[in-house]
A = this chain, B = another copy of it.
Amino acid sequence: MRSLVVHEILRRAAELFPDTEVVDPAGRTSYAEVYQNASRLASALSERGVGPGTVVGVLAVNDRRFFELHFALSMLGAVIHPLNFRLPPADLAYTVEHAGDDWIFAWSGFAPLKEALGPRVSNWVWLEEGPVPEGELSYRELLESGRPEVPATADRVEETDNYTLFYTTGTTGRPKGMRYRHRDILLGSLSILHHLALHPGGAQAQAGDVFMPLIPFFHIHAWGTAFFVPYLGAKLVLAGRGGPEEQLAAIRREGVTWMNMVPTQLHLLLEAAGDASLPLKVLTGGSPLPRGLARKAWAKGVRYSLIYGGSDQLATAISVVPPGVDPESEAAADELATWLLPVPFAQVQVLSEDGRPVPKDGRTLGEVVADLPWLPPEGYYNDPERSRRAYRQGRFFSGDLAVVREDGRFYVADREKDAIKSGGEWIPSAVLEAVLSEHPGVAQVAVIAMPDERWGERPLAVIQPAGGALDEADLRAFLEQAVKDGRIARYWLPDRYVFVESIPLTSAGKLHKAALRKQFGLGS
């Protein structure tokens, strides 16, 4: 058996859990049916020339068809390229060109993008029902033309064959591509599940849970849920295009117990829930979890864990409840929102500029360097120059800044490029943002660097007020208290405050600091 091959996961699910449901807004199916459909698709695509190494883009939300494509392409030894439809069209077109997509499966709502994606892709398959342009295919048509047997190619796929190619959102420069083999993406995905299963509390995942990922498939295959949910044989609920209200209805209707989402989505979901409690296990990450949001979620019954990783390293660490701490206590809530333990097989170091590990004092910032068995073998795809900086000695130099505690847990304070270098010392903008966001008058906040003749850089706080009266003096007094409480250092205090109507976000829902810096004429 080829243990670490993607479609083997589904084969086993279809055998052991044939009737377990896979649900999306269009209806219900089962692992047995998903397996049969994936086999049909694979045989139909095989006859049309898709085979080992063919790159197939998918431009769609999380639904059952996208889920089926994960396994159909695996059976062919083809490479799936989940397209990030939130990228600006020019960047999206760049990724299609750079990846060398030969086929694109697309939701018809994305048809207007077709022109931007250029003439290089000659094979289009439309996921929805209805008429399709001359010479193009519908998903149903393709499916019906296939045979229900698993194609012979399926047994020739090896764990070291390439399987997926996806791109960073790229706030600086062009998106960067990462190509992973079957083995890499599976080991990286399963390590998330295993870590969550082994550690009680927070977003613990177990057989019997019902999973609904809100993270889109184009972000590391919904943070690995595309693979680890069928591996576990659990019910999978796909959210399609629904917003928070539809998500809430699906949670209640399907008995969802486990979800993943970025903090922004958690905020929206809590808002939609109103006064109702929300007893869910939630894996969150992608940006820091503001303390106010964490507390609000906890009070409503959300039990969360924080994941640290990314497209260029997959899973690296997840917060856990430390030994001896009551998983229902406020101390557990704070731990789970901040302190990270490397996932199985992951080795993490936090290195100072001289390349040595920072002291385990919980204060000294260094760069997170991850030694992971699932790093992309080639580094960034077709990009040796940028690979050279990030992938060295078999490790990934993340550019993220963290502190390490005595017990080896670490806290990611900031991205290096977002941190502010003042008088030779790092000021973590994300920590300042977290503290400022606790002020009731602040809706959103971003802290960015402004050039300073004496210090090199100094912090500038960009504030989106919540609506009431708010001025600089309020915020200064608020931060003064945080200095007294020992939460921030005095030299971190922002030199300037600016009030804006709204703060731009990236396609992944993170603060778009590059856009802000541009807006304020501070470079990119």
Is there a chain B Cβ closer than 8 Å to A347's Cβ?
Answer: yes
Interchain nearest-CB distance for A318 vs B (Å): 12
Taking a contact as CB atoms under 8 Å apart, the answer to whether B200 and A347 are in contact is no
Instruction: Assess the B408–A16 pair: CB atoms within 8 A.
Output: yes
**A3 CB-CB contact with B under 8 Å:** yes
Question: Assuming the A-B contacts A344-B231, A345-B3, A372-B1, are A15 and B408 also in contact, with contact meaning beta carbons closer than 8 angstroms in the complex?
Answer: yes
Counting chain B CB atoms within 10 Å of each CB, the highest count among A15, A187, A198 belongs to A198
The answer to whether residues A1 and B344 also contact, given A206-B198, A206-B200 and a CB cut-off of 8 A, is: no
**A191-230 CB contacts (< 8 Å) to partner B:** 193-194, 197-200, 205-208
Are B194 and A1 in contact, CB atoms less than 8 angstroms apart?
no
- B16 & A341 in contact (Cβ 8 Å cutoff): yes
Copies of this protein in the assembly total 2
Q: Which of A2, A372, A373, A374 has the most CB of B within 10 A?
A: A373
A394 touches B1 (CB 8 A): yes
CB distance from A288 to the nearest CB of B (A): 23
Chain B CB count within 10 A is highest, among A1, A206, A232, A374, for A1
Q: Which residues of B contact A344 (CB under 8 A)?
A: 190, 231
- Docked complex Cα distance between A323 and B205 (Å): 15
Instruction: Determine the distance from Cα of A475 to Cα of B34 in the docked complex, in whole angstroms.
Output: 52
Asked if residues A3 and B232 are in contact (CB atoms below 8 Å), the reply is no
B207 touches A320 (CB 8 A): yes
A46 → B minimal CB distance (Å): 24
A12 within 8 A of B: yes
Given contacts A3-B373, A187-B3, A373-B1, contact A12 B198 (CB under 8 A): no
Contact pattern, A 68-79, Cβ under 8 Å of B = 1, otherwise 0: 000000000000
How far is it, in angstroms, between the C-alpha of A344 and the C-alpha of B193 when the chains are bound? 12
CB-contact partner of A207 in B11, B198, B342, B373, under 8 A: B198
Which of chain B's residues has its CB closest to A231's CB? B344
The interface residues of chain B lying within 8 Å CB-to-CB of A345 are 1, 3, 8, 12
Within 8 A of B (CB), among A383-434: 394, 408
Give the residues in chain B near A11, CB-CB below 8 Å: 347
Instruction: Tell me the bound Cα distance from A394 to B8 in angstroms.
Output: 15
Number of interface residues of A (CB under 8 A): 37
User: Bound state CA distance, A15 and B408, in angstroms?
Assistant: 8
Query: Which residues of chain B are near A342, meaning CB under 8 Å?
Result: 12, 16
A328 to chain B, nearest CB (A): 15
Residue of B nearest to A370 (CB): B1
Give A199's nearest chain B residue, CB to CB. B207
Collect the chain B residues with CB atoms within 8 Å of residue A197's CB. 194, 197-198
Kindly supply a per-residue 1/0 record for chain A positions 317-358, scoring 1 wherever the CB is within 8 Å of any chain B CB and 0 otherwise. Answer: 000100100000000000000000110110100000000000
Q: Complex formed: what's the CA distance from A8 to B3 in Å?
A: 21
Q: Are B207 and A200 in contact (CB under 8 A)?
A: yes
A371 interface hit (Cβ, 8 Å): yes
Interface residues of A in 1-27 (CB under 8 A from B): 1-4, 8, 11-12, 15-17
The complex places the Cα of A411 from the Cα of B426 at a distance, in Å, of: 61
Alpha-carbon distance A421/B440, docked complex (angstroms): 79
Complex Cα distance, B394 from A8, in Å, reads 15
Cβ-neighbour of A232 out of B198, B347, B373 (below 8 A): B198
Query: What's the Cα separation between A345 and B159 when bound, in Å?
Result: 13
**Using Cβ atoms and an 8 Å threshold, which residues of chain B touch A8?**
345
The residues of B that contact A205 with a CB separation of less than 8 Å are 198
In the assembled complex, the CB of A359 is this many whole angstroms from the nearest CB of chain B, namely 15
Given A342-B16, A347-B15: A371 and B1 interface contact (C-beta under 8 Å): yes
Contacting residues, chain B, for A231 (C-beta < 8 A): 344
Whole-angstrom CA separation of A341 from B208 in the bound complex: 14
Q: How far is the CA of A341 from the CA of B394 in the complex (A)?
A: 37
Task: Give the distance in Å from the alpha carbon of A341 to the alpha carbon of B232 in the complex.
Answer: 12
CB distance from A96 to the nearest CB of B (A): 32
Q: How far is the CB of A3 from chain B (nearest CB, A)?
A: 3
Q: What residues of chain B lie closer than 8 Å to A4, measured between beta carbons?
A: 373
List residues of A (50-101) whose CB comes within 8 Å of B's CBs. Answer: none
> Which 8 pairs show the lowest CB-CB distances between chains A and B?
A3-B373, A197-B197, A1-B371, A197-B198, A16-B408, A199-B207, A3-B345, A198-B207
Name 6 extra pairs, CB < 8 A, besides A16-B341, A198-B232. A1-B345, A1-B372, A12-B342, A16-B408, A193-B198, A207-B323
Interchain residue pairs with CB less than 8 A apart (23): A1-B345, A3-B187, A3-B345, A3-B374, A4-B373, A12-B342, A12-B347, A15-B347, A15-B408, A16-B341, A16-B342, A17-B408, A193-B198, A194-B194, A194-B197, A197-B197, A198-B207, A198-B232, A199-B207, A200-B207, A207-B320, A208-B323, A231-B344
